[in-house]
């Protein structure tokens, strides 16, 4: 069975500071990895995904994540955060099993950006 | 806007009652997923349908059931409701069964059981 651990439930940071949100996963098979973001009172939106190829993936709004197979990690980073990045971030893992896929989420990390 | 529509947005009901949550997937998407989000359990996968057939089951209680209709919309039925069923219920859709498929989420239905 697969599982996802997000080590920090909350990360407070000042605007324009760098941030890293940590994610570790466990799975017995090849995985696909995702970061989703949830703004207040909204559904989840895909931020970025890793399927294969380059281990560094980037989103259009400055976030990036690096897949590290040996450490089974997929940490999310941004070099300079904005107030508007305040949201909850979910790491998720999916595998292919018997012809269907399921998405397993971590418990989420609340990113709090203050001026 | 993800293209996934969930109704109603809010639902307040009493213990022991039954409710139905509705989801319309993105145009062309064949897969529908249901998730429950609560403070203590986080986001839990409940069930997946693909083109009208059940394909995967997660932590779904026996009191809960779902179906996907020929027009691909889906309904999640929750019966004999308990206080602990109060949560945000999300529907998501994707184009195929692929593990690498992006799932697009609706805005959710907030269920309050009093």
Residue A105 CA neighbour count, 13 Å, CB half: 25
Nearest CA in chain B to A51: B100
Convert the pLDDT of each residue in A37-46 to its tens digit. 999 888 899 9
Q: How far is B106 from chain A (nearest CA, A)?
A: 6
Give me Rg for the CA atoms of chain A.
14
Token code pair at residue B56: 């995967």
Full DSSP string of B62-86: TTEEEEE-TTS-EEEEE-S--GGG-
Average pLDDT over residues B51-78: 94
Q: How far is A94 from chain B (nearest CA, A)?
A: 6
Are the C-beta atoms of B75 and B20 separated by less than 8 Å?
A: yes
**Which residues are CB-contacts of A96 (< 8 A; sequence separation ≥ 6)?**
A29, A30, B98, B99
Convert the pLDDT of each residue in A68-81 to its tens digit. 988 999 999 999 99
Full DSSP string of A1-63: --EEE-S-SEEEEETT--EEE--EEE-SS-EEEEEEEE-TTS-EEEEEEE-SS-SEEE-TTS-
Which of A62, A61, A75, A69 has its CA nearest to residue A106?
A75
Token code pair at residue A46: 């895909």
DSSP conformational letter for B14: -
Share of chain B above pLDDT 90, in %: 82
Are the C-beta atoms of A56 and A49 separated by less than 8 Å?
A: no
> Which member of A41, A43, A94 has the closest CB to residue B90?
A43
In chain A, which residues have their Cβ closer than 8 Å to the Cβ of B103? 46, 103
CA atoms of B99 and A51, how far apart (whole Å): 9
Q: Is A102 within 8 Å of chain B by CB?
A: yes
Most distant pair of Cα atoms in chain B: their distance: 39
A13 vs A103 pLDDT, higher one? A13
Which of A115, A113, A114, A111 has its CA nearest to residue A9?
A111
Q: Is A107 within 8 Å of chain B by CB?
A: yes
Residue A98's pLDDT is 54
pLDDT above 90 (res A15): yes
Residue B102 CA neighbour count, 13 Å, CB half: 14
Average pLDDT over residues B30-37: 94
DSSP conformational letter for B59: S
Are the C-beta atoms of A2 and A104 separated by less than 8 Å?
A: yes
Token code pair at residue B106: 């609706």
């Amino acid at each position: 069975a697969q599982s996802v651990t997000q080590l920090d439930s909350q990360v407070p940071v000042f605007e324009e500071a760098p941030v890293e949100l940590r994610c570790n996963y466990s799975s017995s098979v090849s995985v696909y990895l995702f970061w989703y973001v949830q703004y207040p009172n909204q559904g989840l939106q895909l931020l970025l995904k890793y399927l294969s190829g380059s281990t560094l993936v980037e989103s259009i709004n400055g976030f990036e994540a690096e897949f590290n197979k040996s450490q089974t990690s997929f940490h999310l980073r941004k070099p300079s955060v904005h107030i508007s990045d305040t949201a909850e971030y979910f790491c998720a893992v999916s595998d292919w099993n018997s012809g269907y896929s399921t998405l397993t989420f971590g418990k989420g990390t609340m990113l709090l950006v203050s001026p | 806007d993800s293209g996934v529509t969930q109704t109603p947005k809010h639902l307040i009901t009493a213990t022991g009652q039954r409710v139905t949550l509705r989801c319309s997937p993105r145009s062309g998407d064949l897969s529908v997923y249901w998730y429950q989000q609560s403070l203590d359990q986080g986001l839990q996968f409940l069930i997946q349908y693909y083109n009208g057939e059940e394909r995967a089951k997660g932590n779904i209680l026996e009191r809960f059931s779902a179906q996907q209709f020929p027009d691909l919309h889906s309904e999640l039925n929750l019966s004999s409701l308990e206080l602990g069923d109060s949560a945000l219920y999300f529907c998501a859709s994707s184009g195929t069964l692929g593990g690498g498929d992006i799932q697009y989420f609706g805005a959710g239905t907030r269920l309050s059981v009093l």
